[in-house]
A and B are shown apart, each in its own frame.
Chain A
Amino acid sequence: MSKELEKTFLNALEQNQQKLLRICSVYAKDADDTKDLFQEVLVQIWRSMQTFESKSSIGTWMFRITLNVCLRFRSKENKKQKQFIQMDSITIAKFIPTKEDYGEQEKLAHLKSCIKKLNEAEKAVITLYLEEVRYKEISEILGLSENNVAVKVKRIKKKLLNCIIQIA
C-alpha cells in the first residue's frame, strides 16, 4: 500500500479514534472486548482503504465500516482471532477521574448503560447522532431516508431519557 494511503489512514485515525472507540464501547461487553473490537475495526478499515473513494468524507466512511464490523463481531470468534490480531502498538489507558469529573462520569455511565439496552440497529442510529453526524450522513451510512432517521432519533432519544430518569 502506498505511503500516501498510509498517511491518509493515520491522519483519519487520529481525528476519529475517540469517536470510533466510543461506538465500539457500545457494542462490546467490557473494556477488553472494546479493545478487541476496536482493533478489529482498524484492521478492516485498513483492509478497505484501497477501495475508499472521496465521494463521502473519510470519517463517514470509517463510521460505516465500524458499524458493519460491530454488527458481525462475536466475542467468541474474536478470541479465536486474537492470537492472530495482536497490536501492541495500541494502548488504551483508563483515565482516572478527578473529584470534579465524578458527576459527569456518573451521567455518562447511566447514558452508556441505557444505550446498551437498545437493540443493535437503534444503537447504530443513536451513536451516530451523539457523535453529531448530520442526518444526511447518518442516512447514507445506514441506508435509510433522512426522514426515517429523524423519526428514529426522536423515538430513541425519548427511550433514553426515560431510561436515564429511571436509573437516576
Chain B
Amino acid sequence: MMEDELIKIWQSSPMEEQIKFDKSRLMLEMQSSLSRFNKLVKHGILIEQVAMIIAIPVFLFYIYFVPFVLSKIASILIVIWGIWYFIKLKEWKRKKPTNLTKNYLDYLYESRNYLVMLKKWGDNAIYWYILPTILSVILFLFGPILAGKLNNKMIAIMFVVTISTGVFTYIWGKWRVKTQYIPRLKKIEELIKVMEE
C-alpha cells in the first residue's frame, strides 16, 4: 500500500457519517448547556467553599458565646484554618487548566503540573486537612468535658464520630489519589515522553 493512499482512505470517511445541524436550535442549546456545564464543573470546589462560608461564622459565633476557654481557642484555630483553606480553594480553582486553545504540549505540561500539585496536597492531607480539623474539634470538646457538662455516653459518641470522620476522610483521600490522580498523571507523563522523544 502506498503511503499517500492512507490519506485517501482516511478522507473517504466523510460519507460514513452524515452530520446535520439545526443551526438556530444548536445556538440556543449551546447557550443553555454551557451555563449548566460551567456550574457542574465548579461543583466540587464550590461545595467545600460553601462549607467554609458556613463554618467560619458559626465558629466566630462560638468564640464570643461559648463559655469554655478551650472551646474558644479551638474556635479561633478553626476560623484561621477555614480562612486559609478558603483561600487555597480559590487558588486551586484559578490554577485549573481551562485554556483549551493552548498547543497540545503546553496543555499536557499544564495538566501535569496541576495534577502533581493536587497529588501533593492529597498525599499530605493528613497534616493540613485531617489533623488540624480533628484536633481542633477534640480541643473544642474538651471545653465542656472538663467543665463536666457532658456525660460519658455523649463524650464517647462525640469522640467516635470525630475520629471516624477523620479516618474516613483519610481513606477517601488516599483512594482519590490512587484512582484519580496517579493514573491520569501516569498517562500524561507517558504522552509528554512520546511528544518529546
Contacts and interface: CB of A to CB of B under 8 A. Distances in A.
Our verdict on whether A and B bind, yes or no, reads yes
Interface of A: 6, 10, 13-14, 17-18, 21-22, 42-44, 46-48, 51-52, 61, 64-65, 67-69, 71-72, 80-81, 84-95, 97, 101, 104-105, 107-108, 111, 119-122, 124, 129-132, 140-144, 157, 160-161, 164-165
Contacts of A161: 1, 3, 6
Interface string B2-24: 01001101111111111111110
Contacts of A84: 33, 36-37, 40
Given A81-B40, A107-B9, A161-B3, A89 B29 contact: yes
B195 A121 contact: yes
B38 to A, nearest CB: 8
B195 A92 contact: no
Given A43-B30, A121-B191, A108 B10 contact: yes
Contacts of B3: 157, 161
A139 B105 CA distance: 10
B159 interface: no
B33 to A, nearest CB: 5
A75 B14 CA distance: 24
17 contacts: A6-B27, A10-B27, A18-B14, A22-B13, A42-B30, A43-B34, A46-B34, A68-B104, A81-B37, A87-B30, A92-B17, A95-B18, A97-B16, A111-B10, A129-B7, A131-B10, A164-B1
B101 interface: yes
Residue of A48, A52, A61 with most chain B CB atoms under a 10 A cut-off: A48
A101 B12 CA distance: 10
Given A104-B12, A165-B1, 9 more contacts: A17-B19, A85-B33, A89-B22, A92-B18, A119-B191, A130-B6, A140-B103, A143-B105, A164-B1
A49 B99 CA distance: 12
